[in-house]
Amino acid sequence: MIRKYVYGEPFETEAVVEKMEAGPGSEFVGIGQVSLTDGFTFLYQMAEDDIVYGLGEANRGLNKRGYCYISNCTDDPNHTEDKRSLYGAHNFIVISGEKNVGLFFDYPAEITFDIGYTRSDLLMVSSKEANLYLYVIEGESAYDIVKQFRKMIGRSYIPPKFAFGFGQSRWGYRTQEDFFKVAEGYRKNDIPMDMIYMDIDYMQDYKDFTVNEENFPDFPAFVEEMRKQGIRLVPIIDAGVKVEEGYSVYEEGVEKGYFCKREDGSEFVAAVWPGDTHFPDVLNQDARKWFGGKYRFLIDQGIEGFWNDMNEPAIFYSREGMDDLLLTLRKYAGEDVDRIPLQELEKVTGLANAPEDYRRFYHWVDGKRIRHDKVHNLYGYNMTRAAGEAFDEIAEDKRILLFSRSSYIGMHRYGGIWTGDNKSWWSHILLNLKMMPSLNMCGFLYTGADLGGFGADATRDLVLRWMALGVFTPLMRNHAALGTREQEGYQFENVEDFRGIVETRYRLVPYLYSEYMKAALTDDLYFRPLAFVYPEDSFAAGVEDQVMLGDEAMIAPVYTQNAKGRYVYLPERMMLVKFRKDGEYSKEIFEKGHHFVEVALDEVPLFIREGRCIPLVKAAKCVEELDTKSPEMVGFEGAEYVLYEDDGVTKEYEKEGRYRKLRK
Ligand code: GLC
């Protein structure tokens, strides 16, 4: 059962697609207490054993209890344990225990989730203004509530099937030759690959919807040449449009009034990669349509996928911020450094993503002007929506790969997300794993992290272990920052170990794709916490480093350095399959309970549930070359599996004959 309450005058985020009457937001909403004396506060008394799920892309555990999280889309690449805000804002939580309650706070500005942080038994959700919709969902279990929520927010984005292949990325590939070298590194070493991502250096001076002509003299021919090798190029698009006379996107945007403006009506200037930029007002329908239409420039040249970046939106500094800093520095020029007050010096580090800058520009929505900070969390969502809506017109029945860095619930209908700038840290393998089910709960199915870690230098073993987790995430992309150690699969010794892991992904693509499609088409989860599948099992409820994958399997990646394996908890009897680099696999049955399982660096472990089986095919160099006619079935004798298969290109998901029964 879902109840919708309205407080004040909410902004219509369009996160929810199901039409529902809203009751007046009272102070008592059945299960919790609302206070409106100082903004909005929702209070809920948690029972001792209650688990709190949700919040999508957020820090810390699968069980969010015991910390404080702030939905405030932020470009912060240092995801240490103390961080409260990451790139996304996913305001859905589920309290699971004797009583089960789901809560969605449809509010596009900053909102705080104090989940037993101030007081261990108290859940407090608060925002400065009381203008929001609150959805209260009751159901028989946390899982049931999640499914109701997913139905309410609409079908998740479905990418083309090639997007289930492996992709290589690195900030720093610049010329055509750089890309050919990566392709060669993979193809020569027989490591499968479907995508190479193009980071900002493919553009001319970081200008969206341009290509550097010197480095790519014939871009369509280059795209075509890569395509012949079975590789798709996936360019990045940044939120900020460079301010430059003669650049058509800039000039058109100014002329039509499609950029975000300051209070005085002038275009707001934010410095990002290209230097001064303007932000397209993607919350405005006309501007959104205009910006989305620009993707055609690359689609017309053969491009079939994009990643949207810097769309929190990230601001290195604003004109105002920089002027203020320069003034301050001038004031103290020639002074003894000791005499400069600390708060003045802090202006240097406080330049980026400054809260005051988000109060300096406005959107124009449905005839009303609205200050950015009041709708801050919707920017990445609407930038991605701009592209998604445009694709429906540009390539009506064709799926285009699309994912974003920043997001809000609702964006899950238009694209996937990657979890932003992580680090080559072992702890981030575990964080990657924990985020996946939470993201699925919030509708984001096409997700993955930068495998091998974005910032910091990776080591060979870390990349191998992380890729072995990435085998199972719908988005499987190795990405690294400029200046870090090179971490493409062929950069380390014993390249066959990397080949083996990526090949395992391809052997499993029919299964992974089938489970993805079933989850998307029925508003279900691809990754589930163990407790959703084994609600009666008290051990399962506490497991944070294993997740269920589809209906048949469980994953338990190794995430510590020098480990020979790891402990796992099996909530039922399962078969451990270890995929090896020689194209074979070993299998072993484990009884319900705790076990130490050995996993070598070049192996990919997967647990198959009692009485189930999964299809396995031979690896190929790219997804479209996989032969899926008669898969080998791995798992328990007599088990059956229903395989979903389609062309992976068009949107005829529900056409007859998509399901095929396979038997072990
Ligand atoms: C941002 C992105 C990262 C990208 C870089 C350069 O940090 O998150 O993925 O490589 O910008 O474009």
Are the C-beta atoms of residues 493 and 403 closer than 8 Å to each other?
no
d(CA 392, CA 220) in angstroms, rounded, equals 22
User: HEC profile for 521-574?
Assistant: HCCCCCEECHHHHCCCCCCHHHCCCCEEECCCEEECCCCCCCCCEEEEEECCCE
The pLDDT of residue 339:
82
d(CA 514, CA 626) in angstroms, rounded, equals 14
> Is any ligand 1 atom within 6 A of the Cβ of residue 653?
no
Query: Which tens digit of pLDDT belongs to each residue from 345-400?
Result: 888 889 999 999 999 999 999 999 999 999 999 999 999 999 999 999 999 999 99
> Is any ligand 1 atom within 6 A of the Cβ of residue 309?
yes
| Backbone torsion region of residue 506, taken as left when φ is above 0, otherwise alpha when ψ lies between -120 and 50, otherwise beta | alpha
The pLDDT of residue 652:
96
The tally of CA atoms less than 13 A away on the side-chain side of residue 416 is 27
End-to-end CA distance of the chain: 40
The CA-based dihedral angle spanning residues 630, 631, 636, 641, taken in that order and rounded to the nearest 10 degrees: -80
DSSP string of 31-90, one letter each residue: SSEEE-SSSEEEEEE--TT-EEEE-SS-SS-SS-TTEEEEE---------TT----SEE-
> Is any ligand 1 atom within 6 A of the Cβ of residue 399?
no
| Backbone torsion region of residue 275, taken as left when φ is above 0, otherwise alpha when ψ lies between -120 and 50, otherwise beta | left
Strand-pairing partners, residue 267, are: 261
> Is any ligand 1 atom within 6 A of the Cβ of residue 200?
yes
> Is any ligand 1 atom within 6 A of the Cβ of residue 312?
no
d(CA 637, CA 385) in angstroms, rounded, equals 46
H or E stretch covering 106: strand 101-106
- Nearest atom within ligand 1 for CA of residue 169: 10
DSSP-derived 3-state class of residue 19: coil
Name residues whose C-beta falls within 8 Å of residue 156's C-beta, 6 or more positions apart in sequence.
150, 412, 413, 443, 444, 445, 446, 519, 520, 523
List the residue whose alpha carbon is closest to atom 5 of ligand 1: 171
List the residue whose alpha carbon is closest to atom 4 of ligand 1: 171
Residues in the chain where the model's pLDDT stays below 70: none
**Taking Cα atoms as reference points, which of 159, 154, 304 lies closest to residue 646?**
159
Compute the distance from residue 236 Cα to the ligand 1 centre, in Å. 9
Mutate to test the pocket of ligand 1, among 421, 450, 475 (most ligand atoms within 8 A of CB): 421
> Is any ligand 1 atom within 6 A of the Cβ of residue 170?
no
Mutate to test the pocket of ligand 1, among 170, 236, 484 (most ligand atoms within 8 A of CB): 236
> Is any ligand 1 atom within 6 A of the Cβ of residue 75?
no
> Is any ligand 1 atom within 6 A of the Cβ of residue 357?
no
Compute the distance from residue 406 Cα to the ligand 1 centre, in Å. 12
> Is any ligand 1 atom within 6 A of the Cβ of residue 420?
yes
Model pTM above 0.85: yes
The tally of CA atoms less than 13 A away on the side-chain side of residue 200 is 16
> Is any ligand 1 atom within 6 A of the Cβ of residue 405?
yes
Name residues whose C-beta falls within 8 Å of residue 424's C-beta, 6 or more positions apart in sequence.
452, 453, 454, 455, 456, 457, 458, 459, 462, 480, 484, 487
List the residue whose alpha carbon is closest to atom 7 of ligand 1: 421
Mutate to test the pocket of ligand 1, among 208, 309, 454, 482 (most ligand atoms within 8 A of CB): 309
Compute the distance from residue 171 Cα to the ligand 1 centre, in Å. 7
Query: Which tens digit of pLDDT belongs to each residue from 560-618?
Result: 999 999 999 999 999 999 999 999 999 999 999 999 999 999 999 999 999 999 999 99
Q: How many CB atoms lie within 10 A of CB 593?
A: 12
Strands (DSSP E) found in 322-435:
362-365, 368-371, 401-404, 407-408, 416-418
Residue 302 C-alpha from the chain's centroid: 25
d(CA 117, CA 68) in angstroms, rounded, equals 6
